[in-house]
Structure formats: C-alpha cells, structure tokens
A and B are shown apart, each in its own frame.
Chain A
Amino acid sequence: MLELRYDPIKSQKVAYATKRQGRTFHPPDDYCPLCPTKSNKIITEIPESDYDIVVFENRFPTFSRNPDKLVIGEANNEDFFSFSKKQSKGICEVVCYTPNHDSFLEDMPIEKISNLIKVWQDRSYNLGKKDFIKYVFIFENKGKEIGVTLSHPHGQIYAFSYIPPIIKQELKSSKDFYDKNKECLHCAVIKEELKKGSRIIIKTGDFIAFIPYYARWPYEVHIYSLRHMGNLCELDDKEVTSLAEVIKELIARYNKLFNFRMPYVMVIHQNPTDNKDYGYYHFHFEFYPPYRTKDKFKYLAGCELGAGTFINDTLPEEKAEELRKVNIYS
C-alpha cells in the first residue's frame, strides 16, 4: 500500500509504503541484486553482464508513477482523516555507480565520479521535466549504521510530486533574505566562511567544502559551488570534474579520520522543477556522518526528534580542523 497521509498537527506529509517491509535485506554477496547478471542461475536487477552506470526504478518504491487508487473516506464523510489522504505519486530510482560490488564512490577514478555527476544531471533534467514532478531529490545512504540494506555502491533518486519540507524551508529563508538584501543567502554564507576560514575543509577555484557555522552533526559538511547556480544541471564540464575531485577528497578525509569507511548520508539540495522562479536558491551538497568520535554515535533523541532542536556536542571549527589535518596521502 502506497499513500501520503497529511498530519494536520505538524502540517506535514508522511509517506506510507508497506511493501518496503519486504525489501531485500543484507543478501549474501553472491546474491547482490545490484551486481550485473553473470549467470543464468542468478538473475539480478541488471540483465547485462557488465555496465558503467545504471539507473532503474526501485522495486520497493516509496512513490510510484502509477500509485494505488485511494479509498477515500466512508459514506457521509464519516472518516475524519479522509481529507488528508493523497496518492503517493512520484518516481523512485536506484543509481548503481559501478558493477564492482566491493568498491565505494571514493574508490572510483575522478573520471568515473564525473560520469556519475553527469548521470545525476541527466536524471534531474529528465525527471524534473515530467508534469507531476516538482522536486528531484538525489541522495546516498552509506553504511550499515545508516540502515543501508544493500552494500553494493549505489545511491537513490526520489522524484517528489511536492516540494519536501526541508527544501521548502530553505527556499523560504533564501527568498526572504533575497527580498531584503538583494543577494543570495547561500553566497553570503560562502563569503563569510571564506572570510573566516576556520571551518573550511577544501577550497578549489570552483567549490568550497566546509562545516557550517550552524552544523547539526559534528562532521556535517556542505559543498557549494562558488558560482551562483540553482541546479546541478548548470555545472559545466570543468566544474563537474572539480566537483568530482572535491567529493572524492572529502570522503577520503572522512575515511582517514578514524581509519574506517565513514558512513554518511549525502544529499543534494537543488531548486524545484515546478516551473517557478527560484533564482534566489543555490544548489549544494550536504553530508551527515553519524559519528561524533571514533566509537560514539550522535543519536537523534528527545530534543532532536521531539522538539526539533539539534544538540551538537562539538564545535564546527574544531571538527573542521580535524578533517583538514587528516593526511590522506600517507
């Protein structure tokens, strides 16, 4: 059953996708559904015996192009909640980065990471141009700690039929700031980070990666293009390569920090695709690794989940210095 229910108390949608309970859960490597099909005995999601990058519709989606028809309410509108139910329309895709099961994004050569960014651009364009898609959300969950059920290197794309709440909030803040200052809020943040310098991890001619002043997670890093742009698609070839280098270096620094593959959630925030003007918005990446020390997690608990306020036990300036000092070449 797929449906969107509206919570009138918190004014937000909740997606129900009960089929996902049965999704593939930590299969043995020989039965990985994201590997290419190497034998007739084990047919994976990908029929060919090799591939560069593959995108396919998720077998266990949260949203669907053809969602279930809703049974709206009971007779005489007796169902109090019937007003708050909607079809869970959208598209969920899986992006397989490489046929190599034991590899990771950061192990891939710059050229291959650049190719992945080009695929993300292509999906942003082609999903975003569909009438019923208002937002293309690209992300990667990495590591068992994050809840990943398939270890094969992959990411996901959720094409929403609505603008998700965190993006909506960012758009509102960005518009309010622009209306007041006639300047992009994100560019103002970048300028401040460049001026201060203490929270910067990586700086190139085209991109900057930093732990923001207001980071919620100890090692949360945002990557911004120095050039103002609202969408991944606006990157030119040189910027694509530059972004690939920054992503690779950042993850290498994460991995070297505690000498294990750092799990993370990586998200791309870009402008919506509902044909409205979001020129005031600035696309960026956000990384949320769950660790606060080598052997301690940052958990979301009472204050975060129940009150909506993150408590960060660390200072961004100190964590940025740690990441900066990591020697990734030794």
Chain B
Amino acid sequence: MKRDETGLIKNGMRKSNSIDSKVNEMSNKVRSKIFADKKCKNNPGLKKRVITKRDGRYLIYYDFKKSIVSEGTKCLS
C-alpha cells in the first residue's frame, strides 16, 4: 500500500481482500478459540531498565532502537 510522508495509508475506507474471508471465518474461529487458553506472554525482546526513585517509586526506561526519526521540538533543549 502507498504511504504518504506521515506514514498513513491512503484512503480511509481502504479495502483488503482478506477482510471478507476473515469476517466469514470469524464465527467459527471464535467458537473454536473462545475458551482456549490465551494468556498474556512476556516479550523477551523488549529492552528495559528499571530504577527506583528516592521516594521508592519505580521508573522503567523502555529502550528501542534510536533510528526512529524524532518528531517535534525537544523540551528544555
């Protein structure tokens, strides 16, 4: 699909060939999965650092790769 510079996919009502089939299959999928065990799982790929502040509260830095183009103006710079 085409994207503009904002990263949005053009056309709000965009169509996907897979939608109809997904919808048609939805009921069956729901029936078969509805009581399946779908627990949350930890994401081991996430990089995070946890620190404890002076007052005992925790703070977590989530570190993603820095290649993302920054947006807007930096505060206090």
Residues in A with CB closer than 8 Å to B64 are 52-53, 112, 115
- Given the known interface contacts A38-B77, A100-B73, A231-B40, the answer about A205 and B19 at a Cβ–Cβ threshold of 8 Å is yes
Partner of B62, one of A36, A119, A273: A119
Residues in B with CB closer than 8 Å to A57 are 57-59
Interface: A201 (CB within 8 A): yes
Cβ-Cβ contact count across A and B, 8 Å cutoff? 183
Residues in A with CB closer than 8 Å to B77 are 38
Bound complex: CA of A324 vs CA of B34, how far in Å? 33
Interface: A1 (CB within 8 A): no
Partner of A118, one of B27, B36, B46, B75: B46
Chain B 22-64 interface 0/1 with A at a Cβ cutoff of 8 Å (1 = within): 1100110111011110101111001010010101011111111
A122 touches B43 (CB 8 A): yes
Residues in A with CB closer than 8 Å to B34 are 178, 184, 228, 279-280
Partner of A187, one of B6, B26, B57, B60: B26
A122 touches B72 (CB 8 A): no
Residues in A with CB closer than 8 Å to B15 are 203
Task: Name B's A-contacting residues (CB within 8 A).
Answer: 4, 6-10, 12-16, 18-19, 22-23, 26-27, 29-31, 33-36, 38, 40-43, 46, 48, 51, 53, 55, 57-64, 66, 68-77
- Beyond the given A29-B75, A55-B62, could you list 14 further A-B residue pairs with CB under 8 A, ordered by the A residue number? A35-B76, A47-B59, A54-B60, A56-B53, A103-B73, A107-B71, A112-B68, A203-B13, A203-B14, A226-B19, A230-B38, A245-B7, A326-B12, A328-B6
A-B pairs with lowest CB-CB distance, top 10 = A101-B75, A103-B72, A233-B40, A205-B16, A57-B57, A38-B76, A35-B75, A56-B59, A100-B72, A125-B40
Task: Name A's B-contacting residues (CB within 8 A).
Answer: 29-30, 32, 35-36, 38-39, 42, 45-48, 51-57, 59, 98-103, 107-112, 115, 118-119, 121-122, 124-126, 128-129, 152, 178, 182-184, 187, 190-191, 194, 200-205, 226-231, 233-234, 245, 248-249, 252-253, 273, 277, 279-280, 324, 326, 328-329
